[in-house]
Structure 1
Amino acid sequence: MPLPGEGRGMRVLIVKLSSFGDVVQTLPTLHDMRQALPLATFDWVVEEAFAPLLRAHVPRLGRVIPLAQRRWRKTPFSASVRAEKAAFTQTLQAESYDVVIDFQGLIKSALIARQARLTPGGWRATYGNGSEDCGYEWPVRFLVQRPQPMPPRIHSLQRYRRLAALALGYPPREDGIAYDELQVTPVQPDGSVMLVHGTTRVENEWPLAHWVQIGQHLVAQGLPVSVPQANAYEENFAKQLCQAIGPQAHMLPRMGLAALAAQMAGCVGVVGVDSGLSHLAVALNLPHVQIFSQPRIWRAGPLGSSYQVAVGGARAPDVDTVWQAWQAVWSVFHNIQHEPQAIPA
């Protein structure tokens, strides 16, 4: 069946609201869709906190449409929130779409997808069933025209890619993961390893004493460390960490995600807990060790790179495990960088 608008260039709406790591992991799917539909225009509905990153560093997007469901939930009936919701709906419906894809698979995201206007013959799609350890609310299959079947066990990144392929009618891809839609220019290369300790989930935290040891090992290796912070709790943690490591550790000032992406792009590597910033390190193609404290490691860890690994799982890893993983990825990365290049015939 031909896709609506295929001849003139389709307009596709991506609905992927949060979280930050999930938004980043959707970028390879945007690459796939562009490869399959080079004339298409892609717009994106996303939580307001993540919109600046998409606007600053994903330049080929059409419209980035922010919404504030997290903030609106605090005072849902206030006049200001009602006005913001009305303005969001007006902005969303200023364009009509040939295909709307809800990559979230939750009722809140499916209802956003339903608000979007369709062109004649257009449709909405999302997941037709749940997959292990992936967020899904079964009523969404009845809120769209084309729910798509998913395997019972699949990595979250591959789940996004499969949904887009089935919705848009091209063969699903499982290799060739590309983050080239993300284009970040480093503010200034600083040669540091960034220690990403912050997380919104307490169960994902790694002890301060462990971070101190990793930082000291890195400094002994000749690598300074940088430590980001996004709130008062993280600032206090970062101060303690830097003081314990010594003068080769510096705490970064608080900054937005777009600026932090540019800061991270100037680093030589990242060690981080399971968080959005760790997924950003993967997208920036940096040597990376991702620390997991939950069994979800199999569905959220890095894919496709020999110098990006996840450690831990059912319980947090110890310092030796993380340090050995860092030494391995650092060695692999530099061996790849120094491989002789083929001479063109």
Structure 2
Amino acid sequence: MKILLVKLSSLGDVVHTLPVVQDILAARPGAQIDWVVETSFAPLLSPLLASGNLQRAIPCEIRRWRKSFWTAATRVEWRAFKKQLQAVHYDAVIDLQGLTKSAVVARLARLAPGGKRYALANQTEGSGYEAPTRWVADVAIAMEPHIHAMQRGRELCARALGYSVPSVPDFGLKEAPALMERAQAAPETIAFVHGTSRTDKQWPMENWIMLGRQLNTQGYRIALPHGSTDELATSQAIAAALNDDVPAGAAPRAVVWPRLSLDALTQHLAESTGVIGVDSGLSHIAVALDLPHVQIYNFDTAWRTGPLQRLTDANLARQLSIFAQPTPSVQAVWDAWLNCQPAPPSTSGMLPSQ
């Protein structure tokens, strides 16, 4: 069976769709799965390609092409994309995006005899939806409006292909050859994912510094990724505060990672002890890597995009979301972190006075 998944963007949405591949393979062994994705997010699919779970990742630049459709360069790129997309005839084309751009891609894909196009029949809470996705589909599937973003995609594919959704999502990253071995550095490293495209999702810098100091007292080093000039400045400011009294020649308590490609950044996160971050694509990658993780929310939307709680053998939550307005306190995030892993013997439930 040949299946095409259409999930173009954004980073968090692509991460939430990863379990669909493992669900399909568990229910339809031997299925050949291709995935159309925006070029900037294609590196996230590299581990699935390396493991053989995904046959092809077909990159596209549809957002950029729409802004320059009249140019010769865009026409050349568009023809090359169509040729790659239409090289295979599919038994099922599943539009997991629910937008006009994904409907265009689904319509361009070629079907095998008896093949069908599937799509969402309705909008779900907090998600975008545009009518063309329903018009293009041979089968439009109605979904429960109040549903987690990850479960929406899994349910759509299960109903399209006729199987039951497995109880535990498998993102397919832990078994990937490039990510199987997590080389733990000394000291153990906690990544702070402070960057987000929306300023109203950010956590105050002074909170990151206070939390970092507490983690430093427990022997953790803080790692600070960044994806823009502004995020780099924030990473540097946090690192400077945490390293302000480090003796000359001593190991730093916080390090700023270099600007990394998405696949390299995923590898760096995989080698971390855990991640604490705001609601962003990188935080969702931490969930997919099954790392101890606390996700910070200033809005009550964790039910839709946050980690789904699973307990460890020690009856602790592996990953938690924490919500408060205007923003969660440092103490609340610290308590959540302690609940994500066994605490060191010297750790109390309260932060030291600052």
TM-score (norm 1): 0.89
Per-residue CA shift, 1:95-141, capped at 9, x if unaligned? 11110001111111111111100001101101111111122223321
Mean CA deviation greater in 181-190 or 94-103: 181-190
Identify the residue that residue 247 of structure 2 maps to in structure 1: none
CA distance in 2, matches of 1:308, 1:185: 20
Task: Tell me the residue number matched to 1:228.
Answer: 225
Partner of 1:244: 241
Shift of 1:202: 2.0
CA distance in 2, matches of 1:211, 1:229: 14
The alpha-carbon distance between structure 1 residues 236 and 187, as it changes in their structure 2 partners (threshold 3 A), is farther
Aligned residue pairs: how many? 324
CA distance in 2, matches of 1:55, 1:309: 27
Contact preservation (8 Å) 1:288, 1:309 = yes
Q: Distance in 1 between matches of 2:165 and 2:148?
A: 14
Is 1:266 the counterpart of 2:267? The answer is no
Identity of aligned residues (%): 43
Q: 1:80 Cα deviation (Å)?
A: 1.2
Return the alpha-carbon distance in structure 2 between the equivalents of residues 112 and 70 of structure 1. 12
Equivalent residue in structure 1 for 2:111, among 118, 132, 152: 118
Picking from 323, 329, 352, the partner of 1:318 is: 329
2:140 paired with 1:147: yes
User: Using the alignment, how far apart are the partners of 1:145 and 1:235 within structure 2?
Assistant: 47
SS in 2 for 1:84: helix
Choose from 319, 328, 336 the match for 2:339: 328
Q: Does the 8 Å CA contact 1:187/1:263 hold for their aligned counterparts? A: no
> Among 278, 288, 294, which residue is 2:283 paired with?
278
1:55-114 CA distance string (max 9 Å, x none): 245432101100112333443322212211111111101111110001111111111111
Q: Which moved more, 1:184-193 or 1:26-35?
A: 184-193
Equivalent residue for 2:44, pick from 53, 58, 66? 53
Assess, with a 3 A threshold, how the Cα gap between structure 1 residues 313 and 100 changes in structure 2: closer, same or farther.
Answer: farther
Residue 167 of structure 1: how far off its partner (Å): 0.5
SS in 1 for 2:115: strand
Is the Cα contact below 8 Å between 1:242 and 1:250 reproduced in 2?
yes
Once the two structures are TM-superposed, the CA of residue 263 in structure 1 deviates from its matched residue by: 0.7
Paired amino acid for 1:263: H
2:208 corresponds to which letter in structure 1? W
Q: Deviations over 1:33-60 (max 9, x none)?
A: 1111001100000010111221245432
Q: Does 1:108 align with 2:119?
A: no
> C-alpha separation between the residues in 1 aligned to 2:151 and 2:42?
23
- Considering only aligned residues, what root-mean-square deviation do their CA atoms show, in Å? 1.8
Q: Distance in 1 between matches of 2:289 and 2:344?
A: 14
Would the aligned equivalents of 2:227 and 2:259 in 1 still touch at CA under 8 Å?
A: yes
Q: Which runs of 5+ in 2 are unaligned?
A: 244-251, 311-316, 346-354
TM superposition score normalised by structure 2: 0.87
SS of residue in 1 equivalent to 2:341: helix
- For residues 1-345 of structure 1, the aligned pairs below 5 Å read 10-59=1-50, 60=52, 61-173=54-166, 175-181=167-173, 183=176, 184-185=179-180, 188-190=183-185, 191-246=188-243, 247-305=252-310, 306-312=317-323, 315-331=326-342
Aligned-partner Cα distance in 2 for 1:79–1:291: 45
Contact 2:47–2:173 (CA<8 Å) still a contact in 1?
A: no
Q: How many angstroms apart in 1 are the aligned matches of 2:297 and 2:47?
A: 29
**Aligned counterparts of 1:138 and 1:331: Cα–Cα separation in 2:** 48
Counterpart-to-counterpart distance in 1, 2:69 and 2:324: 38
